[in-house]
Amino acid sequence: MHPFDFRRVQRDDFAFCWPLYRDALQPLSVGLFVWDDPTQQQRVREALADEGASILQAAGDDAGWLHCTETRFAIHLGHLYLSPDKRNQGLGTSFLTWMSDRARRKGKEFTLDVIKNNPALALYKRLGFRPVQTQAYTVILGL
């Protein structure tokens, strides 16, 4: 059994999700792109409105949020943000391992987006992800 569960995004979850996104990405934007709260808030709202968005839970508490898209051939993780008090406890590793196993069982490739200077790159590489495409300020990693 894995140490997490999911729940559907609800209307008032933006208040939980936005600060996680902002606090994780705004510091990384320096030197890469101009941060604009309204534009970034719209990105979060659009992701949360999509059926691929979920709230990640640990021990019954909201621990973060994610957004995945899945096609016939691939699973793509576009967003994964954990609450500060849930980081560095193995939750992200556990989730990514579970998703990797799920993609492998389904015979699908598994990719994710990451900002080039994100410290999480070390975790992704440790889990076997390798760059498959470089964009302006992000890298798409795949297994």
Give residue-wise pLDDT tens across range 11-20: 899 999 999 9
Q: In whole numbers, what is the pLDDT of the chain averaged over residues? A: 94
Closest by CA position to 97, among listed 126, 120, 121 = 126
Closest by CA position to 44, among listed 20, 63, 62, 28 = 20
The torsion angle over the Cα atoms of residues 113, 126, 98 and 119, rounded to 10 degrees, is: -40
Residue ranges of domains in the chain, CATH in brackets: 5-142 (3.40.630.30)
Q: Is the pLDDT of residue 1 over 80?
A: no
Give residue-wise pLDDT tens across range 38-81: 999 999 999 999 999 999 999 989 999 999 999 999 999 999 99
> Which residues are CB-contacts of 21 (< 8 A; sequence separation ≥ 6)?
40, 44, 79, 81
CB distance 109 to 103 below 8 Å: yes
Q: Is the pLDDT of residue 2 over 90?
A: no
Please give the average per-residue pLDDT across 86-91, as a whole number: 91
CB distance 5 to 57 below 8 Å: yes
Give residue-wise pLDDT tens across range 108-139: 999 999 999 999 999 999 999 999 999 888 99
Q: How many helices (H) and strands (E) does the chain have?
A: 4, 7
Please give the average per-residue pLDDT across 78-91, as a whole number: 93
pLDDT, residue 106, reads: 96
pLDDT band at 141 (very low <50, low <70, confident <90, very high): very high
Query: CA-to-CA distance for 20 and 14, rounded, in angstroms?
Result: 10
